[in-house]
Chain A
Amino acid sequence: MSAAVREIVQEHGRLAVDLSTLPDDASLYEAGMTSHASVNVMLALEDAFDVEFPDEMLTRGVFESVAAISAALEKLSVQAA
């Protein structure tokens, strides 16, 4: 999961640093992801994983790190099952 998430964040997050140098729990916002870029990350995640983030999950915290995004995706697929 985290590898696929990393690929999307790398492509759409417009980070100021190379994502491969960051651990899963590093703050993407501190790494330079703007709120505008985070919307693109969310859109790409929805497309890649064929999910829809409900409004209560569309918060800054949920997209804070690769680990947080992976946890949110796992939660969604658990709910769908």
Chain B
Amino acid sequence: MTTAVADRDATFLASVVELADAIARPNADDVDRNARFPVETIDALREQRALSAFVPTDLGGAGVSLRAIALACFELGRRCGASGMVFAMHQIQVATIVRHLDAEGADSFFHEHLRAVSAQQRLIASVTSEVGTGGDMARSVAALTPNGDGTSSFEKQAPTVSYGAYADDLLTTLRANPDAGPGDQVAALTRKDQHTLEQKGTWDPLGMRGTCSPGFTVRATLAPEQVLSAPFATIMTQSMVPISHILWSHLWLGVATDAFDRARAFVRAAARQKPGEPIPAALRLSHVMSDLSLLRAEVRGALDEFEGEEDRERMATMAFALRFNNLKLSASDQAPRVCQGALGVTGIVGFKNDTPYSVGRHLRDTMSACLMVANDRIHQTNAGLLLIAKDV
């Protein structure tokens, strides 16, 4: 890493930590209780120009590394899981576009759009899930349909669109045309003035309540250049899937780390009240630390591997897919385990929602992890890949 990037990373991370402390943390319980969008935190991220952090400097962004983005997800997750998730999902869309930008000619719309993301701090949401695909992101029902005047339109039934109502832009997966098979996909970006969202159902979930992710019917009309030129299968295997798993797992690690920190504070307070007396909770805390260490090793190890990688050939292999699928599986299993362990340490004090040691929100937030691309589906994919992959 060059000194310039290291400096940019450090400045960016320091600003995220500061706003996470000052704004995300004090609002986290209210965001959770009212299942409301963490508007203060996202506004503060905009003020710090954090929404364009991963955009290259020549397109007006900060040009920080993926590592810095991942660590920012971790830091936000420690203060407010929902804020961390919104930030992570936005960065996944930005990174997907940045990493598959073709030459200015082929993708001039996206070059221009990244400049707009930087100048206006536009928030990008994704519309990947779809009714009728059984949760398989690699298949679409809705198709990009030519209108005959050069523009195209689509209508997509999405069971969840995280912060869809608050996003400036949507990145939507679609069949390439009305005759295309379900796996022949493209990714299209539309602005708020080009799409409409009709909400389907309500949003009152167990956790990650601030992500505001109800279902929507999305309708849009767009120009042909608003479709990324790279094949979607490549975009998915080289960027969207591994980066999603890296950023999600970092924020889950953040949530779990805060649950552990609260449990440790609880044990310390107990120890200070009765110096010299045995504290049963201290022993439990040690067990929770083992679980947290495993989680951290898996999450950080995957980031090291990905950063060392940049071999796009290897990213297309099954071994790579297995590695980053497994990151998602193990982190989403392990994070709620840490939070439940923290609850075991803090007992009724942690079970209450209004004490300094409350960990209910952490447990509920991390319980969403196994559902975001269902673990059963990923296991099924891995089971298939393991039939043929050799070096895993």
Residues of A within 8 A of B (CB): 16, 29-32, 34-36, 39, 42-43, 46, 52-56, 58-61
12 A-B residue contacts at CB 8 Å? A16-B181, A29-B184, A35-B381, A42-B388, A43-B387, A55-B317, A55-B389, A55-B390, A56-B313, A58-B388, A59-B313, A60-B233
Chain B residue numbers with a CB within 8 Å of A30 are: 180-181, 184
Kindly state the separation between the CA atoms of A57 and B391 in the bound complex, as whole angstroms.
12
- Is B385 located at the chain interface by the 8 A CB criterion? yes
Residue of A36, A39, A60 near B237 (CB, 8 A) is A60
How many B residues face the partner with a CB closer than 8 A?
21
User: In the bound complex, what is the Cα–Cα distance between A15 and B180 (angstroms)?
Assistant: 13
The residues of A that contact B319 with a CB separation of less than 8 Å are 55, 58
Q: Are A61 and B316 within 8 A (Cβ)? A: yes
Are B387 and A34 interface neighbours, CB within 8 A? Answer: no
Q: Which of B205-249 contact A (CB under 8 A)?
A: 233, 237
Cα(A29)–Cα(B237), bound, Å: 15
Task: Evaluate contact between B384 and A32: CB separation under 8 angstroms.
Answer: no
Q: Which residues of A contact B391 (CB under 8 A)?
A: 54-55
Whether the pair A29, B233 counts as a contact (CB closer than 8 A) is: yes
Give complex CA distance A54, B392 in Å.
11
The residue in chain B whose Cβ has the minimal distance to the Cβ of A15 is B181
Name the B residues within 8 Å of A59 (CB-CB).
Answer: 313, 316-318
Q: Which residues of B contact A (CB under 8 A)?
A: 138, 180-181, 183-184, 233, 237, 313-314, 316-319, 381, 384-385, 387-391
Question: What residue in chain A is nearest B391 (Cβ atoms)?
Answer: A55
Give the residues in chain B near A60, CB-CB below 8 Å. 233, 237, 316
Nearest Cβ on chain A to B268's Cβ, whole angstroms? 48
Whether the Cβ atoms of B181 and A32 lie closer than 8 Å is: yes
Who on chain A is nearest to B181 by CB?
Answer: A32
- Inter-subunit contact A43/B317 (CB<8 Å): no
Which residues of chain A have C-beta atoms less than 8 A from B237's C-beta? 60
Give CA–CA (A47, B319) in the complex, Å.
21
Residue of A nearest to B176 (CB): A30
Cβ distance B79 to chain A, nearest Cβ, rounded Å? 38
Q: Which residue of B lies closest to A46 (CB)?
A: B388
Bound-state CA distance A10–B64 (Å) is 48
Question: Once the chains are docked, how many angstroms separate the CA of A39 from the CA of B318?
Answer: 10
Do A52 and B390 have beta carbons less than 8 Å apart? yes
Q: B226: shortest Cβ distance to chain A, in Å?
A: 22
- Besides A35-B138, A56-B314, 16 other CB < 8 A contacts? A29-B183, A29-B184, A30-B181, A32-B181, A32-B183, A36-B384, A39-B384, A52-B390, A55-B317, A55-B390, A58-B317, A58-B318, A58-B389, A59-B316, A59-B317, A60-B316
Asked whether B387 lies within 8 Å of A39 as measured between CB atoms, the reply is: yes
Inter-chain contacts of A54 with B (CB < 8 A) = 390-391
In the complex, residue of chain A having the shortest beta-carbon distance to the beta carbon of B138: A35
Q: How far is the CB of A38 from chain B (nearest CB, A)?
A: 9
Residues of the B chain whose Cβ atoms lie less than 8 Å from the Cβ of A16: 181
Q: Which of A30, A43, A55, A61 has the most CB of B within 10 A?
A: A55
- Residue of B with least CB distance to A52: B390
Please tell me if the beta carbons of A34 and B183 are within 8 angstroms of each other in the complex.
Answer: yes
